[in-house]
Chain A
Amino acid sequence: MSDCTIPEHNRYSRDDEWVRESEGGLYAVGITDYAQQRLGDVVFVELPEPGTKFDAGQAFGVIESVKAVSDLCIPIGGEVIEINPSLEDTPETINEDCYEAGWLVTLRPNHPAELETLMDAAAYASHIADRSD
């Protein structure tokens, strides 16, 4: 996949989600540029109720593009605090700006140290390069 943006300041999961510390001890989660390019036009996003708790790797929502339905897996365990309210009406925000306006949820992590188990930008770049043809 050509021309994937991978910002340095995020951590990345093997399932193509990014995590970044936002404010007040919360962490924002979204999908990567590679993931949104693979999905194509996002037409629907289903997110959990705030207050729901997940362990790392658990499915916390669903993202649908025209041709596929995919689970969203939480990169680090924690409690969902906010969901991105704009995605209900404009799920295409994920295609347009997956790292900023297209964030999915914010979390209060159970163990912020779990972040260290995720990849940095360089490791994620080689992770996706290994999967491309």
Chain B
Amino acid sequence: MSAIQRTPLYARHVELGARMVDFAGFSMPVQYTSIKAEHAAVRETAGLFDVSHMGQIHLSGPDAVQTVERLLTCSVATLPEGRVRYGLLCNHDGGCVDDVTLYREGPQQFMLCVNASNIDKDLDWIQAHRLPDTAVQDRSAETGLLALQGPRSPELMDALCKDASGATPSSLGRFGFSEFDGPAGSCRISRTGYTGAEGFEIYLPAQNCRALFDALLETGVAADLKPVGLGARDTLRLEAALPLYGHELDDTTSPLEAGLERFVKRKSGGFIGHEAMEEAERLGRSRQLVGFELEERGIARAEYPIRVEGREVGRVSSGAPSPSLGKSVGLGYVPPEYASPGTALEIVIRERPIRARVVKTPFVQKV
């Protein structure tokens, strides 16, 4: 995979004057106007994201439930049709192959929405570990994905989409999904997102993406809807302390270290990586993800050392100025003894220790 791929909306982003960057093998808009303004739109009105780079892997067949149960840390058998659950694909050492959302489409049908950078890795992993009677299909290329996020997203979504019975998307409960008809034909809408704001994600055939994107932008004018790039997506998810694969999560990090215990069926087990993860817990966790605020000027970037009393104890995984708080915040891994809120840390920025303090996450509470 050498050529940079484009989403179905590439030309539209360029037309809108977006600054394009390479992200996970795709040319994606990082910002259309300014990250601050786009971030504020999602917190105050609404923002529209193209996240068509993400992957969609479908699993079905008589063994599908057992396959997914074995592959994912979250409980699958108890997931009702029309609901979404967050979970992790783990390797045999208990590290994370990927973090995903699982959609239950039917008794034996599932869709996984996966990180763009991990599509091939996930497919290989799933193929190698599925039970025999499970069909695995990668529909990433033909599936477009938009995210409409922010307090005014329900009214915008409802203005454009209805289902056969006349119900609108705002009737969905959090983590619910269903099929709706809209200006670009039929689409799947879930009440999910990656911003810490109210909102929806909309799956539709790639060729229909532009029609829906434009219809939303047009309807959204009165609500101050803005197109939002990956730059603000990152500051929004950081404020919500949502992990980003490659930063907070990777093949050597356990979901328990990352604070994702509530998405792990620790008691019932039965998934790949469970034993290794529990063994590591018995031996004592060596590190844990924490949120921190800087108490001096600076930006704590990924990989910067974290010190306690002059001794290096860990590394920053993500950091940025939080536009909503007006403070510089970050996430990083430290030994559990330094993980309590209030603990004084130092972040080493260009060889200079900058004072920081562990705080509770999320940094910004959902309203």
Contact = CB atoms under 8 A, between A and B. Distances in A.
Interface of A: 37, 40-41, 43-44, 46, 62, 64, 66-67, 69, 88, 92, 95
Contacts of B320: 43, 66
Given A44-B298, A66-B35, A66-B234, 20 more contacts: A37-B19, A40-B19, A40-B31, A41-B34, A41-B35, A41-B36, A41-B231, A43-B299, A43-B321, A44-B297, A44-B299, A46-B298, A64-B299, A66-B231, A66-B320, A67-B21, A69-B301, A88-B297, A92-B34, A92-B36
Contacts of B234: 66
Nearest to A64: B299
Given A62-B350, A64-B299, A92-B34, A40 B231 contact: yes
A40 B321 CA distance: 15
A40 B30 contact: yes
Contacts of B36: 41, 92
Q: Is the interface of B mostly helix, strand, loop or mixed?
A: mixed
Nearest to B301: A69
17 contacts: A37-B19, A40-B30, A40-B31, A40-B35, A40-B231, A41-B35, A43-B299, A43-B321, A44-B297, A44-B298, A44-B299, A66-B30, A66-B234, A66-B320, A67-B231, A92-B36, A95-B34
Contacts of A95: 34
Interface residues of B, number: 17
| B298, B299, B320, B350, most chain A CB atoms within 10 A | B299
Q: Give the top 6 A-B pairs by smallest Cβ distance, nearest first.
A: A41-B35, A66-B231, A43-B321, A44-B299, A64-B299, A41-B34
Main DSSP-derived SS at the A contact region: mixed
Contacts of B298: 44, 46
